[in-house]
Structures are given as structure tokens and as C-alpha cells.
Amino acid sequence: MILKIYAVNFNEEMPKYMQITRHIKKLIDSGKIRDGEKLPPIRKLSLFLSVNNDTIVNSYKKLQSEGYAVQKIGSGTYAKKKDENRKLKRDYAETFKRISGEDLNNYIDFAGETSCNVFFSINNFKEVINEVIDRDGVNALIYQETLGFEGLRKNINKYFWNNKLAIEDILIVSGAQQGIDIVSKAIINVNDNVIVEKPTYNGALFVFKWRGANILEADMTEDGIDLENFKDILKKNRIKCFYTMSYFQNPTGMTYSLEKKKEILKLAEKHDFYIVEDDYLSELIYDSNIKYESFKSLDVNDRVIYIKSFSKIFLPGIRLGYLISPEEIKEQVENSKVNTDISTSSLMQRALDLYIKNGYWKEYINKLKCMYLKRYTYMEECIKDILGNKVTFNSPGGGFNFYIKINSNISINSDKLFYRCKRQKVLISPGVLFYRDRDDGLKYFRLGYSQTEESKIKRGIEIIDKILSAAEIK
Amino acid sequence: MILKIYAVNFNEEMPKYMQITRHIKKLIDSGKIRDGEKLPPIRKLSLFLSVNNDTIVNSYKKLQSEGYAVQKIGSGTYAKKKDENRKLKRDYAETFKRISGEDLNNYIDFAGETSCNVFFSINNFKEVINEVIDRDGVNALIYQETLGFEGLRKNINKYFWNNKLAIEDILIVSGAQQGIDIVSKAIINVNDNVIVEKPTYNGALFVFKWRGANILEADMTEDGIDLENFKDILKKNRIKCFYTMSYFQNPTGMTYSLEKKKEILKLAEKHDFYIVEDDYLSELIYDSNIKYESFKSLDVNDRVIYIKSFSKIFLPGIRLGYLISPEEIKEQVENSKVNTDISTSSLMQRALDLYIKNGYWKEYINKLKCMYLKRYTYMEECIKDILGNKVTFNSPGGGFNFYIKINSNISINSDKLFYRCKRQKVLISPGVLFYRDRDDGLKYFRLGYSQTEESKIKRGIEIIDKILSAAEIK
């Protein structure tokens, strides 16, 4: 380790630890200290700079709190390059904040991640919500149960689990994102190892980073995670949990084979880790070869933490989902819920409960499935016909998305593709968002059809084709 | 440091790091390693036990993940005694989970923390929710705005801030608990220092511990935090934020003086920390000498993160609140919201919006104030008359609670008092829940009147009196 680059000409205006922090940040930003490089031991640097140990400790803390360093037990402090995706992430999120409502009609939206509203009968919903208010009165608004409204838990057990669960097993949450957050706070601590699929859902990556977890990626293949890769990680690391989307994985669209699920459940038992199953879209199976069997339903050793969202497929504005935890962590998970937001909106839970009981849920899902199958088939054709020689992709057989690889004869990266498409009012999701290291996603993008009807699908893909053509290597 | 006690007779059945972990846990539980005692350096212990460094690293990680150890930068790993309050906390929480609805009528509830429902007009609410559904149709259920429904933000600005804010300054959250969680995830990292009032709200303590923060306590006095104590902490530590409840602090009921607020704002600027102001109950001012001026309204240097709950005073089941952040951390806080639960229930936001606009909110708060003033006065009298020679307390002049000190002639601790009261169907909040170190709260308890009408107040206090009398030192 060369200490010379750490030399600081101290001035009197600012505390020394701030000056050291600022200097090291510059070194990291400029690449003079590499991402992941170990910073000098505290004593060594304090001697070199003729300052107290505490000054260096404060500086390293400051670096850590600003995301420029991470600490590893028994090892020291390591440099961390700031997120290069920051601008892109902001612009991507802005897109959906700024372009909304009426405005959105002028866009072709291949980036939306939730079901669209055209088939939803607001009258059914109005009916159930009034029924709830008339039945429960002010209790519908005042009652707080940590686990959630008992009626809803009963009906979830009845309609989705054939009464195989106990209703105490079910915890109602405010959507799947909250489910991931609550579980993470309950079981993941700083420096714990978490395996994720590569690529994976960026909202989950964000949460695991918040907890200070070490994120390890295992490649996705056509029938789930690459097992060799996975086992290799298990050999070298003690793992807290594995985060997985078992059906129509986001973004790849891949679905786990039964064998793979069984094998992973065995590994979970052997290596003592949890499987966090994010079952976000398994209602939309179009391919009759795909059978629905969640990790949870195959779980005999109480290894699976199951998270179900109602918001993706149903209505995002109602923010509901549920989770099922293994017995041994149930109390922690419940505490985590209380200290996250006390409980989930009671009125919404009661309304959903009636909505399911009255049969509206099933009716609605069937309508959606029918419509999305049409869009899926049409989009598959369009991509093949129009983009065929420029990209490669797999057909997921369900869900909302196609994950697409840009062929090597096209010299454009996915972040650039995002900006160029956006300028032409087409919204896509660039692959760089789905990986721990952005470089891995430069050649991928995701196209979703949840918000976009057939006539727009074709037009959008033609625009993408023009942009890709302009980048073709001749 | 004596290494001898760390000796382990290894067996073949379990990995060595597990055996070491188990052994150290026993040493901590039995008190042979004290709370806060430094564990041996990794190399030293690995040499002593003839194992690899990695084995000790894994063991220390495991201890940390189970809450038996904490790590400090540049210093090492320290033992942590497991939470002695665990059983009490569970029993306290269980109380509210198990005893609910009809059941609760058989209890005298001095522990409830939210307003009661008797004065709430469900018809007004039914009217606004139907108006929303008729006006916005399915959009009321599908629309997701990170910052929250624009109409509601406009009305919050208009009715609560005299249009002094920009509507982009306001972020709608799912209640104050979520506000604290979101802010903490945005600004607090492992080993950051947080100052809290002593005693304070246990839901906030929980969140700060989750973030791995060092929690520093400053004593509460009658007009806010003890400034000498506070300054002393600032002299010795770099502080990330100070968490405060400016009106009717929970649990003490104390309210900050204007001078103290100004002084703390100056200190925040000088020492570069944020003030997290949890304005949870300032609507309920009974004492006309108390003027409403939040830290936020006095803040000229953008130092205050303001959190407002609608759930405490309004209806807990609707889970709504908002927060206002300083410009420089707004983006982080917004990201934190997205990655916590995407957004808050859209329908509930729209309903509250109309509820405020139609004047129902103001009407309801006035009714509540009138009723709670009566209960407040009556309970104050009852405590004085019945418990006068056994306890000491201050009159807060607003809010929901009295915080009561058990005089030294009564030999009972607050946790025991909780269990004895519960056996006689009276629910109180024991002081041990509100301190970082439980011992500090052994002689205090909180009595709230939010859920309990006059006739029950007297009966409940008479029961407490009997229990205290039985513990009197003669």
C-alpha cells in the first residue's frame, strides 16, 4: 500500500477529519483508489498524517456514511466507488413521476410493471367498500391488527392455499416491496451474505444494500439459477438467504423447473439459509406446460419466506400483499412489521377480503389473463419479425415482460438506448438497472406489455428498430 | 483480557465457528463477559484456540447477527447483552393483539396511544370515499405517485402551512412510524450517532437500533431536553441526528420552550446535525399558555426533518402521515420511500384530501379536543386525590398521557406493576419500555386516557392504588 497519495495539506478552516474525508473521496472518484481497494489501517494513516487515531476513525465513518467505504469485520475499511447508475436511475424514476395520467397517453410505455386498469370494474369495488363501511362502521378505520384483518387472512388461506395454512401464519403487508423490506430488517444484518439472481429486481437490491449485506450473484439460466454457480458460492460463503422470483423472474422472464426448486430446497436445509420467494406474478401463466408449484408449497423443512403481492396484478393503488414466514423467525418478522408501519390500512384489507369472497377477484384475473395472452403473442411476433436479426430473446410463457439481448452487430448500450427511446416517447427498462455491477447489463433491455395495447406495441418496436439500425456495425 | 474463559473443548459434530459462538453466547448470558466488554482480537483468539482467523471472523459475524455483539470501526468487536425487556415487550404487545374488539370492553385501557372513535362520523367518511370513487374512477386505485396524491399535498400546504411550502416539499407516508423508518434508512448508517430524549418512544428506538446506530440519551426536563447534557454529548461525538417530540413528548408529556427550540436549532447548524421532529399530537393543546410553534416553523437553515402523523389523532386504520425534508436529502428520502413500499394507498389519500377540504377534519379535531380536555382534567384530579402520596407527576397541558413516578416509599418496579395491573384487567405502560437501558425506567409508568372514559378512569386508578398500597414500605 502506497501512503503517499493520502498526503493532505491541512488548512485551518475545516476540521482535519473533514479534509481527509474530502481528499479520499477525490481519490476514489478519480480512480486513484480503486473500487474495493483496502484503505490504510487507522494507526498507519494517523502516523503518516500526524493526527490522532480518532481523526482517522471519524473520517472513515464519514466515508462510510456517504457510501464511499464499507467496513468488513476483522479486516478493515474498503473503498467503494459511488453508484455510476445514479443519474440513470434518477432519470428512469423521474420518467414515471413526471409523465403520468393524461401525459402518458402520448408515450408508448414498455416499462410499466403493474397491470393496467381497463378491465377493472370500479363498480364492484365501490360495492364492496360500501358494504364494508355499512357492516363494520368506524371499526373499519380504527382497528389495528398486526397480522392483518382476520377475515382476509382466512380467505387467503381458503382461496389460495386450500386451508393448508394456519391463519396465524399469514401476515398482511403493504405490497411486496414492503414484504422484502420487513423480511430484510428481520433477518439480515451488516455483512451478512445474500445470494440474488443475476439479473434481479432492483428494488430488492436496494433493500439488501440498505441492510449492509454482501450481495452475491448467481447467473440465471432458462430453468432457474445456475446450480454450479450457486453451489460454488455456498461452498465459499455462509449464506443468510437466497432471494428468488420463482415464476417469470424479473427481468429475465424465466421460470424454475420443479427439479431445480427441489434441489435448492435441499441445499437450503444443508447449508442453513432461507429462501425468500417473491411470488409476484404467477397468476399469469399462458403456457400450459408451466405448472404452478411455489417453493413454499414444496417446503418441508420450513426454509421458505414467501412474499405475495396483490399490487402487481391487481391494483397498485391499494398496496396490499402478504407474507408467510418459517416458525422460528415469525416473531422477528412480526416485530419488524410493527416497527415499519404499525399495520396495513384496515379498510383496504376489508375491501379486498370481500372482493375475493364475492368472486370478483377470480373473474378479474381471468379477464386479465385472456387479454395479456393476446398481447404476449402479438409482441412476441413483433419482436421476431421486426427486431429478429438485431436481438436475441426467450419466450417466458407468462408474465408481463420480454428480456432482450442486443446482438453484437449493434453497437449501442442499454442506457443510451433508454435515452434515445425516451426522446422518441418510447419507455423501456435498460438492463444496467438489474445488476449489482452495471457493466453486466449493458447489452440487455426489458420490454413490458402490461400498459400497452397492440396498436402501440407495433409502433414502439418499429421505433426501437430504427434506433438499433442506426447503431448497426456495417 | 483473560483468554482462559474462551477455551472450548471442540467436538466433531458441529463446525468450530458454531461451537465458539455458542460458548461466547453462554459467557455473555451468564455475565462472565460483561455487556459492552471488548472481545479478544481475532488473531489473538485464533492463536489461543488453534483455529483459522476465518473461524473467529465467522463466529463474530454470527454473534453480531444474533444480537450478541456489535462492531466498532477501528476498534474491534464488543459483547452485547441480549435485551432483558424481550419477554415484557412481547407480553405488552401481545396484550393489544389478543385483547381487542369486544374483549377490550372488559378492560380499563390506560395504554392505548391513539384517539378513540366515538366522535367520528362514519357518514362523513362514507360520503367522501364515494365522492372520490365517482370522481376519479379506477384511477383512485391505480395511480401511484411517489410523493403522494397532489391534491392532498396542496391541501396540507394550504390548511396546515398557510401555503408557505412548495407542494414538492411534502412526501406522503403511511403513518409516522413509517416516516421514522424512511428517514432513518435515508440518513443513518451503521455506527452513526443519534441523540434521543430520555425517555423516548420505543418504536423510534427500535428503528435506530435496526440501522446499527449508536444511541445517546439526553435527559428530559420540564421544558425540553437538558441542554447541558445535550451540549456535553455534542462536544464528545459527531452526531447525525436528534430525534425529538416537540409537543407532549412521549412518554413524559413535556413540551419544549421557544428558547430551547431556538437554541437547539443553533446547535444543529453549528454541529452539523439534523433535527428529526415527530409532531405527533400537537393538535391537542388544552393549556392556553402553550403556543404552537414547531421546530420546522422556526427552521431557517434547513436542519429539520418534520414528521406528521394523521393516524394518532385521526383514525389509526387509515395509516397516513407526511414528511418534510431539507433540500439536500430530499432525493435520498424519496428513494427511501420508493424502496420501502413504493407509495401510500392512493384511495385513502384522496379520501383524506376531501375530508380536510370539506371541513370535516377541523370539526372532528375540535370535538376531540373538547372531550379530551374533560378527561384530562378529571384524570389529573383522580391521580392527585387517589395516588397523591404514592406518586409524583407533572401536568402536561395537552396530549393523551400522564407520566408518573413511583415514590421511594413504594417498593414495586414498573414491569411488575404492569403484570399485576393486567391481572386485574387494567392496562398500563411500564417505564422500562422507554429507555435504552431498562433500569432507568423501573420507577415510572405512563397512564393514557385516550381510550378510557371518565367512569372507568376512576375505577382504574383505584385498582392501581391498591396494588401500590400493597407494596408500601411501612
pLDDT in tens, B215-228: 999 999 999 999 99
Adjacent-strand bridge partners of A225: A220
Q: Which of A61, A317, A338 sits opposite B191 (nearest CB)?
A: A61
Q: Which of B57, B90, B341 sits opposite A178 (nearest CB)?
A: B341
Q: Is A141 on the interface with B (CB under 8 A)?
A: yes
Other beta carbons within 10 Å of A272: 13
Q: Do B190 and A64 touch (CB under 8 A)?
A: yes
Q: Do B138 and A147 touch (CB under 8 A)?
A: no
Q: Is A127 on the interface with B (CB under 8 A)?
A: no
Scan residues 398-427 of B and list those with Cβ closer than 8 Å to A. none
Which chain A residue lies closest to B350 (C-alpha atoms)? Answer: A317
Question: Is the pLDDT at B355 greater than 70, yes or no?
Answer: yes
**What is the mean pLDDT of the segment spanning A92-104?**
69
Q: Do A342 and B60 touch (CB under 8 A)?
A: no
- Mean pLDDT estimate for chain B: 91
Q: Do A346 and B317 touch (CB under 8 A)?
A: yes
Q: Measured between beta carbons, which residues in chain A are less than 8 angstroms from residue B346?
A: 316-318
Q: Measured between beta carbons, which residues in chain B are less than 8 angstroms from residue A139?
A: 101, 117
Q: Is B236 on the interface with A (CB under 8 A)?
A: no
Rounded Cα distance between A136 and B120, Å, is 13
Scan residues 81-100 of B and list those with Cβ closer than 8 Å to A. 90, 93, 97, 100
DSSP string, A11-79: -SSS-HHHHHHHHHHHHHHTTSS-TTPBPPPHHHHHHHHT--HHHHHHHHHHHHHTTSEEEETTTEEEE
Q: Which of B77, B319, B343 sits opposite A344 (nearest CB)?
A: B319
List the domain boundaries for chain A.
4-79, 86-112+366-470, 122-361
Q: Higher confidence at residue B94 or residue A441?
A: A441
- Report the gap between the CA of A386 and the closest CA in chain B (Å): 32
Q: Measured between beta carbons, which residues in chain A are less than 8 angstroms from residue B189?
A: 64-65
**What is the mean pLDDT of the segment spanning A375-386?**
97
Q: Do A343 and B146 touch (CB under 8 A)?
A: no
Q: How does residue A177 score in pLDDT terms, banded at 50, 70 and 90?
A: very high
Question: Is the pLDDT at B359 greater than 70, yes or no?
Answer: yes
Q: What is the pLDDT of residues A262-280, one digit of tens each?
A: 999 999 999 999 999 999 8
Q: Do B343 and A319 touch (CB under 8 A)?
A: yes
Q: What is the pLDDT of residues B3-54, one digit of tens each?
A: 889 999 888 777 888 889 989 988 888 888 888 889 999 999 999 999 999 9
Q: What class is the B122-359 domain?
A: alpha beta
Q: Do A345 and B315 touch (CB under 8 A)?
A: no
Q: Is A331 on the interface with B (CB under 8 A)?
A: yes
Q: What is the pLDDT of residues A285-330, one digit of tens each?
A: 999 999 999 999 999 999 999 999 988 877 777 789 999 999 989 9
**Which pLDDT does position B30 carry in this prediction?**
80
Which chain A residue lies closest to B46 (C-alpha atoms)? Answer: A74
**Which pLDDT does position B163 carry in this prediction?**
95
- pLDDT above 70 covers what percent of chain A? 97
Q: Do A345 and B345 touch (CB under 8 A)?
A: yes
Q: Higher confidence at residue A99 or residue A459?
A: A459
CATH code that applies to domain B4-79: 1.10.10.10
Which chain B residue lies closest to A316 (C-alpha atoms)? Answer: B142
**A43-50 own/partner pairs: CB under 8 Å, 24+ apart:** A44/A1, A44/A3, A45/A3, A45/A6, A48/A3, A48/A6, A48/A7, A49/A6, A49/A7, A49/A8, A49/A20
Is ipTM beyond 0.85?
Answer: no
Q: Which of B73, B142, B175 sits opposite A60 (nearest CB)?
A: B73
Q: Measured between beta carbons, which residues in chain A are less than 8 angstroms from residue B120?
A: 138, 141-142
Q: How does residue A90 score in pLDDT terms, banded at 50, 70 and 90?
A: confident
Hey, what CATH topology would domain A122-361 get? Answer: Aspartate Aminotransferase; domain 2 (3.40.640)
Q: Is B192 on the interface with A (CB under 8 A)?
A: yes
Q: Measured between beta carbons, which residues in chain A are less than 8 angstroms from residue B185?
A: 210
**What is the mean pLDDT of the segment spanning A190-195?**
89
Q: Is A192 on the interface with B (CB under 8 A)?
A: yes
Which chain B residue lies closest to A208 (C-alpha atoms)? Answer: B339
Looking at domain A86-112+366-470, its CATH superfamily turns out to be: Aspartate Aminotransferase, domain 1 (3.90.1150.10)
Q: Is A71 on the interface with B (CB under 8 A)?
A: yes
**Which pLDDT does position A379 carry in this prediction?**
97
Question: Is the pLDDT at A99 greater than 70, yes or no?
Answer: no
Q: Do A122 and B142 touch (CB under 8 A)?
A: no
**Which pLDDT does position B357 carry in this prediction?**
94
CATH code that applies to domain B86-112+363-470: 3.90.1150.10
SS (H, E, C) B82-150: CCCCHHHHHHHHHHHHHCCHHHHHHCEECCCCCCCCCCCCHHHHHHHHHHHHHHHCCHHHHCCCCCCCH
Other beta carbons within 10 Å of A347: 28
Q: What is the pLDDT of residues A113-144, one digit of tens each?
A: 877 767 788 899 999 999 999 999 988 887 77
Rounded Cα distance between A305 and A461, Å, is 38
Q: Do A122 and B137 touch (CB under 8 A)?
A: yes
Task: Give the three-class secondary structure for B188.
Answer: coil
